[in-house]
């Protein structure tokens, strides 16, 4: 049996409906919400601020530090114990590495920019939603960035290369693999690439090409959210 029709009726290169909003957390220096289908990520950026513990400070350049957390009843399975876990630490690390290449903190030695991402509702693709939200939040906080980062998961379900897998697809009873990808917008450099499951070399190449094309849609949504952050009063459009 071949996977021709997707479980939620999408086309194979169709993303889940996205929604992004910047400036959702007033107390943060920058913040954003990014929603893809039933996955929602809230990102809050604080800083640049003094870094503690002090031995982590870098006197040459500011440090970017990410935090990731799924909320206790955010998934469809068991309650998730709040706080850090092996998985949360790993995702926080890959998020930092995905965002660091575009963030320019050379003007802030010894300081830290903290990015906190929490997911109140999840349905696969959380690290991608987290990275997309964090990129908007960093831009909203006015942190110098060379480029935007957009992220999406691609993968293979029973031999069919698809974009933006939902949880039911990841749990599909066949050979499945999911490949989260994050890319810079202008230079098209990959800053995150992980893989879970099994995928052939040809399918992987196909999946990455698919990611490259669908990421423009994620970028368009991020751009829209940032521009809508500064609305003009009615009758003032130039």
Partner 1 sequence: MSNILVKDKDIVIPGETLAEGMDYLPGDNTYREGEKIFAKLLGLAGISGRVIRITPLAGPYIPKVGDKIIGEVIGMTMNGFRFNTATAYSAMLNVKDASSRFIRNEEMNSLLSIGDSAVVKITKVTSQNLIDLTMKEPGLHKVTGGRIVKINSQKVPRIIGKQGSMINLIKQKTGCNITVGQNGYVWIKGTPDMELLVSKAVKLIEEKSHQDGLTEKMDAFLSSQVKDAPVQEAPANVEGEQ
> What are the residues binding partner 1 (CB under 8 A)?
29-30, 47-51, 59, 62, 102, 104, 107-112, 139-148, 184-186, 222-223, 226-227, 229-230, 232-233, 236, 238
Cβ at position 191, least distance to partner 1 in Å: 13
Cβ at position 115, least distance to partner 1 in Å: 15
Closer by beta carbon to partner 1, 80 or else 102: 102
Cβ at position 204, least distance to partner 1 in Å: 27
What is each CA distance from 74 to 26, 34, 117, 171, in whole angstroms? 23, 15, 13, 17
Q: How far is CA 43 from the centre of its chain?
A: 10
Closer by beta carbon to partner 1, 8 or else 216: 216
Closer by beta carbon to partner 1, 86 or else 238: 238
CB atoms near residue 5 (< 10 Å)? 11
Cβ at position 223, least distance to partner 1 in Å: 6
CB atoms near residue 55 (< 10 Å)? 6
Closer by beta carbon to partner 1, 111 or else 195: 111
């Amino acid at each position: 049996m071949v996977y021709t029709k997707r479980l939620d009726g999408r086309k194979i290169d169709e993303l889940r409906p996205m929604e992004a909003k910047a400036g959702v957390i007033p107390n943060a220096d920058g913040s954003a919400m990014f929603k893809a289908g039933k996955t929602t990520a809230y990102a809050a950026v604080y800083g640049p601020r003094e870094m503690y513990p002090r031995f982590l400070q870098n006197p040459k350049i500011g440090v970017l530090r990410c935090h990731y957390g799924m909320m206790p009843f955010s998934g469809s399975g068991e309650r998730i114990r709040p706080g850090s876990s092996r998985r949360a630490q790993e995702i926080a690390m890959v998020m930092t590495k995905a965002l660091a290449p575009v963030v320019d903190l050379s003007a802030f030695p010894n300081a830290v920019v903290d990015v906190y991402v929490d997911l109140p509702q999840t349905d696969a693709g959380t690290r991608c939603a987290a990275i997309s939200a964090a990129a908007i939040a960093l831009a909203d906080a006015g942190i110098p960035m060379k480029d935007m980062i957009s992220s999406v998961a691609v993968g293979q379900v029973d031999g069919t290369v698809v974009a933006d897998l939902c949880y039911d697809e990841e749990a599909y009873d066949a050979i499945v693999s999911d490949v989260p990808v994050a890319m810079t917008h202008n230079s098209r450099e990959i800053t995150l690439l992980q893989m879970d499951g099994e995928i052939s070399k040809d399918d992987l190449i196909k999946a990455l090409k698919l990611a490259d094309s669908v990421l423009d849609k994620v970028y368009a949504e991020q751009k829209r959210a940032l521009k809508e952050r500064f609305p003009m009063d009615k009758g003032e459009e130039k």
